[in-house]
Chain A
Amino acid sequence: MYGLEAINASNGWAISVVGVTIVFTGLVMLSIVIAQLYKVLALWENPSKIKALFKKKQPEKPREEQISNRVVFAESQKEVVKQFALLVRTMTDHFSLPRLLQLALISDLKDPYLNLNNLFKTKIIVPDGSGFFTWDKDMFDKLVS
């Protein structure tokens, strides 16, 4: 038996199709790897990007947790924050921050600048968009009370 007859008899067509498929798939995969090689080279040249890559993958913590993690009030600071709360109660709902600072200085509160800054960072004091500020009682209760 020779020629096409022999190919048919030995499953030659199927074998050749499988062979071509394997070779073609291999070439496609190789081309994909080469096409993405520049990214690996960029990471090789700048290793800090690898760290950034892992940082991005960390799950985002809830916003309030992030805030409370950033500024944690010590017991002594909580007392000062409560004193700030008392001062704010003597003011209007939309109060002046420089006025609050002035009152804190007059009242001789401990570390008035630092504590006012902490109140702003923890979003207990929130800007109202018109140059004045409001007191977020919920956040205050959550972080201090």
Chain B
Amino acid sequence: MSNIKEILKESSVFICLGEDERVSLAQLFEKREIQAGDILATAEDAAQYFFLLNNGTVLLAMDEGKSVVLNKAGDFIGFELLSAKGVYRTTLTVLESGSVFAVPTQDFLAFIQKESVAATAIMTAWQGYLDKTASFAKNIEDISLPYNF
């Protein structure tokens, strides 16, 4: 897959969105090629982007040595998995070359705040995704507050 709309449609986090919402959200993403060894995000840096994996493999290194490997198209790397209060809390390293779709965090969180119905659906799906992918990373008490991320 290489089309952002298709990825959003396949992603378990965004599958719940309607066609119009998906089109609006798709406009915020930009495609980036990634190479093995690239660092997409560094812990303690300002959180500028969330990422949606298209292909390739990334290693998300958290504090205390914990980590998760993400390698499925549609894997979303954002919210508490990546940042807290505007700062990256994890380091994202590329293990296998491929591509991601990057979305500016501010634009994404603004979309969440504007589209309340979509936001609820996304956050519910996100919690399910997190349970499957990295349940140990769940530590945000109030997911309804965008500034948490």
A contact patch SS: helix
Comparing A34-42, A52-60, A94-102, the segment that makes contact with chain B is A94-102
Report the separation of the CA atoms of residues A101 and B40 in the bound assembly, to the nearest whole angstrom. Answer: 16
Query: Does B147 sit at the interface, judged by CB under 8 A?
Result: no
Contact B93 A117 (CB under 8 A): no
Interface band, chain A: 10 to 19
Interface band, chain B: 20 to 34
Query: Does A116 sit at the interface, judged by CB under 8 A?
Result: yes
Contact A99 B65 (CB under 8 A): yes
Comparing A25-33, A43-51, A127-135, the segment that makes contact with chain B is A127-135
Report the separation of the CA atoms of residues A101 and B137 in the bound assembly, to the nearest whole angstrom. Answer: 20
Instruction: Give the residues from 7 to 33 in chain B that come closer than 8 angstroms, CB to CB, to chain A.
Output: none
The contact string, 1 if C-beta is below 8 Å from chain A, for chain B 47-63, is 00000000001010110
Report the separation of the CA atoms of residues A132 and B67 in the bound assembly, to the nearest whole angstrom. Answer: 7
Hey, which bits of chain B sit against chain A, CB under 8 A?
Answer: 36-37, 57, 59, 61-62, 64-69, 71, 91, 93-96, 134-137
Hey, which bits of chain A sit against chain B, CB under 8 A?
Answer: 96-99, 101, 111, 113-114, 116-117, 120-121, 127, 129-133
